[in-house]
A and B are shown apart, each in its own frame.
Chain A
Amino acid sequence: DAGITQSPRHKVTETGTPVTLRCHQTENHRYMYWYRQDPGHGLRLIHYSYGVKDTDKGEVSDGYSVSRSKTEDFLLTLESATSSQTSVYFCAIRGRYEQYFGPGTRLTVT
């Protein structure tokens, strides 16, 4: 157990509404990541962070923003949710050589 929690674990929201997903770690790791997982696409990196207030875009960052005001928390925001953002979202942290993943958030946009 790498001490990563995600909240909420499940969410259903309507198109056009803002949504924020939270990732919390207890390990004090510097690097944190947000991925989405979709059938046929595998894991795709949305954004990542390399320290407090230091973030960068991944390969599918359009429509998403992130914030990291504390080492332990990394927030992913969908400013105006669309049906194409229906997915399972995973947070990860980087250990010395490897990544550890959270349990995921299943988001449905109707």
Chain B
Amino acid sequence: GEDVEQSLFLSVREGDSSVINCTYTDSSSTYLYWYKQEPGAGLQLLTYIFSNMDMKQDQRLTVLLNKKDKHLSLRIADTQTGDSAIYFCAELSGGSYIPTFGRGTSLIVHP
């Protein structure tokens, strides 16, 4: 089946930029998503990008999509301790209603 891969952990210092990476295998992916999960909470949709886009920016968040390499990244500028959470990448193929999720990257922000 289709797969979404993420590294398990990322550690950064407060004020630095964080880059969380994701690779996927489905060449027919139409929508790609980033979710954030804080401890004890559900998944919160951060942003999503259509496959015909290369980049999307929303305040401190920048999503980059390299469709040729099937690589998605989430950059968080000026990372704060409140950004510490698990970040999930997900993809959805056109015509499907069931997204495929990665296992999540745990972002740890040090003061």
Contacts and interface: CB of A to CB of B under 8 A. Distances in A.
- Interface of chain A: mostly helix, strand, loop or mixed: strand
A42 B45 contact: no
Which size class do B's interface residues fall under?
20 to 34
Contact of B42 (A33, A94, A97, A104): A104
- Summarize B's interface: helix, strand, loop or mixed: strand
Nearest to B8: A40
B87 interface: no
Contacts of A90: 42-43
A103 interface: yes
Contact of A101 (B40, B42, B98): B42
A62 interface: no
B97 A101 contact: no
Interface of A: 31, 33, 40-43, 45, 48, 50, 58, 90, 92, 94, 97-104
